[in-house]
Structures are given as C-alpha cells and as structure tokens.
Amino acid sequence: MSLRCPACGSTYPDDARFCPKDGTRLIAIGASATPAKPMAGVNAPTPPAGMRATTPRQGMEPPQPRRSLNHANLQGEVLDKRYRIVRKVGEGGMSFVYLAQDVATSERYAIKVLSPALAKDANAMARLRREAGLGIRLAHPNVCHIMRLGETEEGLVYVVMPFVEGEILSDRTHRMGHIPLAQASKWVTEIAHGLQLAHELKIIHRDLKPENIMICRDAKGEDYAVVMDFGLAKERKAGSELEKLTATGIILGTPEFMSPEQLRGKALDARTDIYSLALMTFEMLTGKLPFEGRTQQEMMIARLRNDPIPLRRMRPDLDFPPVVEKVLLKGMERNPDDRYQSAPDFADALAMASRGEDPDAPSVTGIFQRIFRR
C-alpha cells in the first residue's frame, strides 16, 4: 500500500509516517484528503531545519493521484483535452476503435486505442511510431491514413485517423453474392490509386484483403472504395533496425490473400499488393477464391503450386468477356516479374477488359506511331 501527503500530494512507501517536505502525517491513498491534525497529547512533528511547515490554502484541493482509464470503455471521456469519445465502433485482440469528436471543431475522427499490453511492448511501439510517420504522408481520398499518434497523461496510447463510414467490402460481396464487373472495376481503380501513392512513398500495404476495404458513399450518393488499416505497412527499403522489428519466422498478413513470395517469406515489393488486389478482384466477381483446399494450409500450398481455377468454371452462370480472365491470371502470376508492374496498370487493364477490349492488343495510336517511326 502506498501513502501520500495530503498537503503537497507526494507519495511514499508504506514504511514512511510523515512527509519530509512539510512534516504532515501521511495518509493511505484513497483515504480522506483532510489535512492531518496532531493527535491530543502528542506533539506535532518538527519540520526539517530550514523548511517551514505548510498547509493548503483555504479553498484549494491538494493534488490528486493520476486516475486510470479503462481502454475498453472510454465513452464520454476526453483524450488530451481534445478528442471526446462518442461511442465504440469496433474492437480487436489488441485495440479498441472509437468514434471521437474534436471538442473545438466538432470534426469526427476514428481513435484506435491500444491495449496496455501492446502499449508496453517496446518492439510494437517502435513499429507503430514508424508507421505513424509513414501514414501521415498517405493523405488520399482512397486511403484511411494515420493522422497522429498520441499518449494521454493516464498512459493510454492511441492513433487518430479519419472517420470513414460505410460497408466493409467482404460484407458487401457476401450480401450480394458477387459484385457486377463494371462496379468491381471502378472500385479496383480507386484502390489502385490509393495503393500507387503508398508505393511511390516506398510503402507496401501487405495485408490487402476485402476486410480492409471500406465502401463509402460520397455527397452525390455514389459508392467509392477506401483502403483501410495500413497497420502492417512496410517500407520497401528497410534498414537492419526495421528488419529486427519484423522478426524472422513471423508471417504478417492474412494467409488467404498473401502473394506466393509472402508465403515463402521472400523480399516483398509493390507487386505483392498487386497479387492481393487481383485475388480480391476474383472474389468480388465470383464470391469465391480461385484456389481450393480443405484447410487453410492446403489453400496456401495450392497458391504456391497450382494455377487459379478458371473464372468461367468457377461461375459458369456469369457472362464475363474472356479477356477479363486473362487480366486476372496475369495479376495472379506466381512470379512477380510476370505480373502487372503497378497497381494502376492492373486497374487499367481490367477496365479495358470489362469493356471487352484486350489491353495487350495493339492500339490504333500505337500502330500509327510505329508506321511513322519507320
């Protein structure tokens, strides 16, 4: 049990009796804050030489010990005198996500509060600080990026992000059974634009999956896609210190949508996200993944050894232009060198294929350019 001085607020171990600063009798933390008075028949302790005994001014409360906050239930709290917690909107194993409102501007934010165990993990915090620095540069209409990393006086560590409202892509696909080709192509283009900004900044998402895509609605009532949770994002040019943070033997990401090189633990670049995007597109169009297996391990092995199940065999009831399958297969090539080399390249090829055009066919412009170069 710890003791505190009701006059100055200092705390001491339980073997102390009087405050050495002002001579006041110590009380148990949580006991009444009324200043201690000398007991009848007992002389008051004499303050140390050169010090004067002090008492709180009339009307002033002595300092109170720091209160604790429950990270799992913060509704109504105000973090750092700025973010008023409105309600909880989600939770995971190591964090809770809240809708918050700026007390000065009323602007809404998503606040992700880390669990105490994660906040005390030095490696996890080093990684989070790095990701926060990267995320701030990812401001884009199709990306939900980290805006700020903060810590309250009570020791809660939190991340501030734009508040994005909508429906998770996996829920939309499950609800509809499959996404129409034209709609899927539009969302893929938007996702690709967000990824391209990250890739230009040397950042890889590496956990791209339908659960990390939010389908939102703009002021005109049109749906658009936002890439969420760059929490596993990684710079392509990683130094030795960064490599220590992602220890060998630990695979980060979601196995169903990992690229073959990610499953093998190989070096990654932007093309791993392109593979995941192509795999997601296949699932959007069919409601199913193009690899089969009774267990997650069998599906991972199938991705490493087998070719994807043909689009038309997976959904013979849906009429896709044949060239769509060609684009998807190129996006899901096991060798990264054989895939599209940028996310917009894949999105552009899919958009052409959705119109029945072959993106590899020579264009009229290209033919004329070759003629006039001769």
Catalytic residues: 207
Distance CA 162, CA 100 (A): 10
Task: Report the 10 Å Cβ neighbour count for 261.
Answer: 18
Alpha-carbon separation of residue 250 from 95, 262, 264, 271 (angstroms): 20, 11, 11, 20
The Cα 81–Cα 97 span in angstroms is: 18
- For tokens 């934010």, name the residue: 109
Tell me how far apart the alpha carbons of residues 319 and 286 are, in angstroms, rounded to a whole number.
Answer: 11
Residue carrying the six token digits 């995007």 = 277
Q: Which two tokens stand for residue 148?
A: 């700020």
Running DSSP on this structure, what letter comes out for residue 150?
Answer: E
* CB distance 232 to 128 below 8 Å: no
* Distance from C-alpha of 360 to C-alpha of 54, rounded to nearest angstrom: 86
Tokens coding 193: 């634009």
Under 8 Å between Cβ of 281 and 184: yes
DSSP string, 313-345: HH-TTS---HHHHHHHHHHT-SSGGGS-SSHHH
Per DSSP (E only), the strands in 43-178 are 78-79, 83-91, 95-102, 108-114, 148-151, 157-162, 167-168
Q: Where do the DSSP E strands lie in 166-265?
A: 167-168, 203-204, 213-217, 223-227, 234-235
Please tell me what DSSP assigns to residue 140. Answer: B
280: left (phi over 0), alpha (psi -120 to 50) or beta: alpha
